[in-house]
Amino acid sequence: MAAENNNNNVVQVSDFPVKRPREEEQDGGQNGVPDTLSTQPNHSQHSGISPVLPGWFSEISPMWPGEAHSLKVEKVLFEGKSDYQNVMVFQSSTYGKVLVLDGVIQLTERDECAYQEMITHLPLCSIPKPKKVLVIGGGDGGVLREIARYSSVEKIDICEIDKMVVEVSKQFFPDVAVGFEDPRVTLNIGDGVAFLKAVEEGTYDAVIVDSSDPIGPAQELFEKPFFASVARALRPGGVVCTQAESIWLHMDIIEGIVANCRQIFKGSVNYAWTTVPTYPSGMIGFMLCSTEGPTVDFLNPVYSIDEDDSQTRPLKFYNSELHSAAFCLPSFAKRAIGSKAK
């Protein structure tokens, strides 16, 4: 087991198997882009730097065919290729620095608060005094930053598959990666699926799955066996919140997730959503589920983190009113999801 310690906090690299590394391209790499951190711009076919609209990033993916949100690029700050994906950071004109994986925006400095705060506080404000929390994915550290707000939390484990995401976030997004500095955090670099299988049954009060989209390294995190492993890792009445895509673009994926979760989680199963201007369709959803045990009413939070005066960094987005409102769905989504969620 190797160990690294970049910020005086305990950071461990586990010996959990790391799988699904990307196959090397036939040219032996992406036009010579090294596997290590680099600040030399080298715009690959996956970077999203538009060959037709000079100076702009366009987010093109088969997951949102026929549309591509674009941001004006001031400067490419980093481009590299990890074992799993292309990693890019650029300075945008209007959203601050932007983190891109395989051509897909993961966060911008301007609107990351909406996603990180909602994916964290929706589950954690729904249960009393969470103590042990696991993050799958989330290598930028933003979800850790939000979990660290809870004084009841004693242990925060994170399993991120791609160590380059962690390194790049620490270098370019210190206000996000600050989450890694909390002494309660243990970082495991490895495969989340394998990590969960090795976890003792009933370990966690909450699991947060902060994944990228289900094309690439995150694919298995949207499948039924993964949800079964999450349920096993939770205590009775424990909660999970997973990134669950857009009601405008991915209703088929969402319906599949809901159907799987209803079979696996015997407590509550609810879909919530928030606005994130730089995500496809301007919104993203979350699947919230609880295991059999003490009842969890996700729609009515039991704790108001927004009224906790001890917070050193004020919340930018989440509040208790938004919490309950996040579960209100447009009629078309209510019909599709409501019939499957309880």
User: 226 in helix, strand or coil?
Assistant: helix
C-alpha pair distances (Å), 326 with each of 48, 146, 270 = 31, 18, 10
- Complex with ligand SPD: residue 142 or 190, whichever CB lies closer: 142
* Contact with ligand SPD (CB under 6 A) among 49, 73, 107, 127: 107
140 forms part of the interface with ligand SPD (CB under 6 A): yes
User: Binding to ligand SPD (CB under 6 A): which residues in 188-247?
Assistant: 210, 212-213, 243
Q: Which one among 104, 125, 147, 177 touches ligand SPD, defined by CB under 6 A?
A: 104
For the beta sheet containing 104-108, the strands, ordered from the edge strand earlier in sequence to the opposite edge, are 56-58, 70-81, 86-92, 97-101, 104-108
Q: How far is the CB of 342 from ligand SPD (least distance, A)?
A: 26
- Stretch of 6-14, 122-130, 134-142, 255-263 lying at the interface with ligand SPD (CB under 6 A): 134-142
Strand segments, DSSP code E, in 124-280 are: 132-137, 155-160, 185-189, 204-210, 234-243, 269-275
Q: Give how far Cα 8 sits from Cα of 178, 181, 313, Å.
A: 12, 8, 21
- Candidates 16, 173, 279, 303; binder of ligand SPD (CB under 6 A) is 279
Q: Considering the complex, what minimum distance in angstroms separates the CB of residue 156 from ligand SPD?
A: 15
210 belongs to the catalytic site: yes
Nearer Cβ to ligand SPD (138/190): 138
Rounded to 5°, the CA angle 140-318-280 comes to 60
Of the pair 189, 296, the CB lying nearest ligand SPD is at 189
Tokens, residue 332: 């078309």
Supply the minimum distance, in Å, between the C-beta of residue 244 and ligand SPD. Answer: 10
Between 87 and 296, CB nearer to ligand SPD: 87
Query: What are the E-state strand segments in the chain?
Result: 56-58, 70-81, 86-92, 97-101, 104-108, 132-137, 155-160, 185-189, 204-210, 234-243, 269-275, 283-290
CB of 284 to ligand SPD, least distance (A): 6
> Closest residue (Cβ) to ligand SPD?
106
Give the other-Cβ count within 10 Å of 151's Cβ.
9
Residue pointed to by tokens 């490895």: 190
- Point out which residues bind ligand SPD (CB under 6 A): 104, 106-107, 115-116, 138, 140, 142, 210, 212-213, 243, 279-280
Query: Which residues are the active-site residues?
Result: 210
